[in-house]
Amino acid sequence: MNIIDHLSVGVPDIEWATAFYDGVMAALGVSRLATSDGFAAYGDGQVQFLVMKPEDGGASGAGNGAHICFAAANADAVDAFHKAAVAGGGSDAGEPGPRPGYPKADVYTAFVRDPFGNKLEAICNGFAA
């Protein structure tokens, strides 16, 4: 059983967020499943990741040291994720490539920051593989 039901990040604007995340998630074979004024939900058949306006109405912000890692089917999907993120207004935070320092062999990953400062990773052969 997966112990994570879903993850979410705070964003200031849902339309802006979906403009970025629709492309990034499509690169991983995931689609937007629902949208409202306060959130957009993504997954592969079931909601697993959301972008949301903060419930308290305050400013959204990225957590220092926090990141979300998405599973990728292969290295090509990691590359597509990184390319889509940077093309969509995100920034590089770690080029795609092998990570020999990870505790599991044959890991291939990339890191980006979304336009709102949230750190994201896509990984092939990660811990969930």
Per the structure, the count of domains in the chain is 1
- Do the beta carbons of residue 75 and residue 88 sit within 8 Å? no
Q: Where are the alpha helices (DSSP H) in 28-99?
A: 75-87
Residues of the domain holding 72: 7-54+67-124
Split at pLDDT 50, 70, 90, the class of 1 is low
Residue 40 maps to a domain: yes
* Residue 106 in tokens: 């044959």
What's 62's DSSP letter? P
| Average pLDDT value for the chain | 94
AA identity, residue 28: L
Neighbours of 16 (CB within 10 A): 14
Dist. CA 6–CA 120, nearest whole Å: 15
Question: Is residue 128's pLDDT more than 90?
Answer: no
Q: Hey, what are 78's tokens?
A: 């990691």
- Give the dihedral of Cα atoms 89, 42, 48, 68; nearest 10 deg: 0
Q: Is residue 61 part of a domain?
A: no
Q: Side chain identity at 75, as an amino acid letter?
A: A
Instruction: Round to whole Å and give the CA distance between 1 and 109.
Output: 24
Q: What is the pLDDT of residues 22-77, one digit of tens each?
A: 999 999 999 999 999 999 999 999 999 999 999 899 999 888 889 999 999 999 99
Query: Which residue type is seen at 125?
Result: N
CATH at residue 25: 3.10.180.10
Give this prediction's pTM: 0.93
25: amino acid identity, one letter = M
- Examine residue 35 and state whether it is found in any structural domain, yes or no: yes
